[in-house]
Structure 1
Amino acid sequence: MESRFFRTRDGFRLHYISHPCVTSDCDSYCILLHGFTNDAHVWDTMADVLRRHHHVIALDQRGHGDSDWDPEHRYSHWQLADDLEDLLQVFDGARIHVIGHSLGARVSMLALESTRIEVASLTIVDAGPEVNPDAGERLVNDVMQMPAYYADSQAYLDCMARVYVMADSSVLANMARFSLRVTRGRLTGKTDPAFTPGIWHKNPEFRQRHREKGELSDQIWTALRSLDLPVHIVRGQASSILESSLARRMIDELKGRGVLSIVPRAGHAVMLDNPVKSTDLIAQFIRDLDQSGSPAVWAEKELVSLV
């Protein structure tokens, strides 16, 4: 595990964790994008498996983890998509698989629609072009109710456990180890407090991009339909964020380019709730693609539903 940085087109210093492949003959990369208020360490368990066959890159998105906070609070989906395009440039020429969870998946769809860089596959983990309003509101409320300061790391872990009620305790504890920093002598979370209103449509940068580009959900639907690559949609069986009907509509819109996997004993935080099964499904999808020698092979497969 190596900590590295790169510069975005607007000069921000973004952090990513490099998990080098354990063998010397790996020639592909898995680029992982976390969700709302998480960071690159949410992928640590999965990265340990994926690095058996791939180099793994886990990004801290702008305003998260050890990446720069934006003083102008430019945190819209479109801005984060620009950042992902800049990261893809770093690995241009390699075989790349992109895996995004929640917000990271929505950002990935937007970025892959516009990038000139060839990508071998996209895995969408419990996300869609639309968000159930009630579930989305609960998610935001959970975040907004997190304390600004913590007495110690255990206090933070206790708060996380109340939010991620289905999470594997060891995976959650590992993520919590890296999620705090000292600010003016007190322990705080690493996510910019301005990120929540920025991503949920309440700041000037979002409103401007919305006027320029149109309705966000429409943009993401358009991006999804445009993807000319194999797409793996991974849904938590108990998820209220990616409802079953929406997941199947996404598969229909992909017109033979998508497959769907259902992770048992998991809600929205799929990688935390059932790390073993979710990792197995995602790793197998990518491994089959690489071994086939052609992404078109996956496009010919029937819908997969694993429960």
Structure 2
Amino acid sequence: MDAAIDAPQSRYYHSQGLRLHFTDWGNPQAPPLLLVHGGLDHSRSWDHLARALRRNFHVLAPDLRGHGESEWATGSSYSLADHVYDLTGLVKAAGFENVSIVGHSMGGMVSLTYAGVFPEKVSRLVVLDGVTNYPARQVKPADVRIAEWISDLDKLAQRKIHRYASLADGAERILRRNRHLTRAQALHLATHGLKQNPDGTYSWKFDPYLRARAPYRLSLDDHIGLWSRIACPTLLVSGSESFLPDPATAGVMKHFENAELARIEGAGHWLQHDKPDEVLDLLKKFFDQAESK
């Protein structure tokens, strides 16, 4: 396929006064599919999957606020609700009535929340290592959460932005973080995840204040209530080497009405990068099965 034809389009919409970016892979006559990235990531990390899925879907991959090409929300705590609101804005801006969603990590939690609030708007849902709240998790008291948040903000205010001499140096940092990646994958992620500074160096595009977790978060009961409202076929995928608990043993499945599990051996938290072909096969089978029901 010609590179120019194969390339996705950059598009924008506005949410709460922010100019937010999304990557549009075309095929507008096909059913819409949203690919929602995780924290400190960007929409172009989905390229391998999006390029394959565009044959059957109109694929849109948003840059969540504070990420990628989207504007930073200065003074924001980047709460889950903020991201969900932005997702509703994207669905409206695109004119979609009903969407399928694949979300990774934090993007998985955003997707789960959106599907729980608007179950009639989601036809199929896949969460890649994104159930980050589970019954056994110990939640710190509110005073501790707020105090830690304040401390984190003060530290971030003093933190110097790291500068890389080249995109290759940024790719090396990504490789050190995830041993499963190839050098080509890391360079692709760095190319779309770094911005060039006036002095010729490179820095990450994401807002550093994304590292400070908002102290006002949904409770476990809130999440369970949302999960129980999700009506569409749902697939929760975990990696055998992930740092997150396996949903099969974490006590979350009983709170879903129509969910199934899949586990990918040899994959860590970034499933779509570690085992992209296995993830793609799972997605295709799941979408085909859901379509036939």
- TM-score higher than 0.5: yes
- The one-letter code sitting in structure 1 at the alignment partner of 2:38 is G
**Contiguous gaps of at least 5 residues in structure 2:** 1-7, 139-151
**Residue of structure 1 aligned with 2:174, choices 146, 149, 160:** 160
1:103-154 per-residue CA deviation (whole Å, 9 max, x = no partner) reads 0010111222223762111111102142768xxxxxx9xxx99971111111
CA contact (8 A) 1:172 1:272 kept: no
Runs of 4+ in 1 over 3 A off after TM superposition: 91-95, 144-147, 244-247
Q: CA deviation at 1:14?
A: 0.6
Q: CA deviation at 1:53?
A: 0.6
TM score, norm. by length of structure 1:
0.79
How far apart are the structure 2 equivalents of 1:116 and 1:233?
17
- The one-letter code sitting in structure 2 at the alignment partner of 1:7 is H
Q: CA deviation at 1:237?
A: 1.7
3-state secondary structure, aligned to 1:178: helix
**Contiguous gaps of at least 5 residues in structure 1:** 134-139, 298-307
Counterpart for residue 4 of structure 1: 11
Counterpart for residue 180 of structure 1: 194
How far apart are the structure 2 equivalents of 1:146 and 1:238?
32
- The one-letter code sitting in structure 1 at the alignment partner of 2:252 is M
Q: Percent identity?
A: 24
Q: CA deviation at 1:96?
A: 1.4
Counterpart for residue 137 of structure 1: none
CA contact (8 A) 2:247 2:253 kept: no
Q: CA deviation at 1:221?
A: 2.2
How far apart are the structure 1 equivalents of 2:65 and 2:44?
15
Aligned-residue Cα RMSD (Å) equals: 2.4
TM score, norm. by length of structure 2:
0.83
**Residue of structure 1 aligned with 2:101, choices 82, 95, 98:** 98
How far apart are the structure 2 equivalents of 1:283 and 1:64?
28
How far apart are the structure 2 equivalents of 1:230 and 1:70?
33
Which runs of structure 2 are paired with 1:1-307 in the superposition (5 Å)? 1-8=8-15, 10-21=16-27, 26-115=29-118, 118-130=121-133, 148-185=162-199, 186-197=201-212, 200-201=213-214, 206-207=215-216, 210=217, 214-215=218-219, 217-246=220-249, 249-255=251-257, 257-290=258-291, 292=292, 297=293
How far apart are the structure 1 equivalents of 2:45 and 2:111?
17
Q: CA deviation at 1:95?
A: 4.2
- The one-letter code sitting in structure 1 at the alignment partner of 2:266 is R
1:38-95 per-residue CA deviation (whole Å, 9 max, x = no partner) reads 1001100000111111110001000000000011223011111111111122244444
